[in-house]
Every structure is written in C-alpha cells, then in structure tokens.
Amino acid sequence: MSITVTTWSLEQRSPSDLLPAAAPEGDVRIVRAEVPSPEFSRFLYASVGGDIRWIDRLPMTYAEWHKLLDRPGVETWVAYEKGTPAGYVELAARGERGDGPDGVVEIVYFGLLPAFRGRRIGGHLLSYVTARAWDLAERWPGLAPTERVWLHTCSKDGEHAMDNYLRRGFTLFDTKVEQEAEGPNPGPWPGAARD
C-alpha cells in the first residue's frame, strides 16, 4: 500500500530571520552531545521518529552511524527536561551527504519524544539550535560562515511541525508530492508502535 507524502523545504537566509520562541517553564536545558555516539543518536532517532515512520536510518550499521556523526560540522543537540531526553536536533554543514555549497547548514533531524510534545519545548529547541546553525563555523575551524540554514518537513511529521518552522522565521522554497510505500510504524523499538 502507498500513501501520498508532501515534503516542504524551508530556509533562512540571514540570522535576523530567526524569530525565537519563549523558553518553556521548568527545568529544560539544551546540551550539545559533543562525543559522536551511534548508540545515543540511534536511540534519539528511533524514539523521536518511531511513531512518525522515520525508518531510513534504522538499517544502518554502527560503523555507518559513526561515519555519519564523526564529520566536521555535524552536531547533535539534545533538550532535557529534568534530566530526561525530551528531543533533539541534528545539524550538518553542507547537507547530510557532505555535498552542496559552503556556508549551508541543514537541520537534518528535529523532533521531540511523544511524551514531550505539546509542552512548548519544540519552539524553544528549534530557536536555540537554529541560532547554533548560524554560528556553527565558530565551533568548527575551517568551515565557511553560515549563509543559509535549511530543512525539510513532510506530511508524516507532527501536526505542529510546519507551524513551528514558520513561526521561527523559516520560509518555504519548495514543495514536492510523491507516492511512498507505507512502511512499518516501529515505535521507539520494534513492537512498541502506538497505532
């Protein structure tokens, strides 16, 4: 069975495009995971994306995950509420495959674990990490200063995703509609789907 999936690509062309969200109440902190960790990144990916069918990285080996994470300009930022991982963002200079023009940073993955959605953490996390995309070159000597931050979202993502991106100052630059095989809904681990 196939489903129709709409993918929207959005961008910011200047740090002044960013419209920050207010920080949520309570003990919410955002920390960069500075040591590339395939185990931790796979946990975040599967836990955030399991119920919205993020499956493209699940077959990757430990070595493939490590190679992907251990590149200049790739960063993982994690939001914690009271010490518990609530969501994450993965940034990559020049796109996930390492191609594309200098000065471009992609927000490759962004999301919250299901239990933390709808609690105003997402807007704050997106604001904070978009600012980190704009100053990425300051942490990575040899990278060109950021001139563009971009991302894509799709109709499979959370219901508030697109609105969050627009409220943070991202603008739409491309839309694609495709048929896609309806793959499994693995949940945070096989058998834990919330269908």
pLDDT at 2: 87
pLDDT band at 130, cuts 50/70/90?
very high
The CATH architecture one would assign to domain 2-179 is 3-Layer(aba) Sandwich (3.40)
Mean pLDDT on 46-74: 91
pTM greater than 0.75 (yes/no): yes
Amino acid residing at 135:
D
Distance between CA atoms of 46 and 159, rounded to whole angstroms? 18
Q: How confident is the model at residue 191 (pLDDT cuts 50, 70, 90)?
A: very low
The pLDDT, as a whole number, for residue 160 is: 84
- What is the average pLDDT score of the chain? 90
Distance in angstroms (rounded) separating the CA atoms of residues 144 and 117:
34
**Residues belonging to the chain:** 195
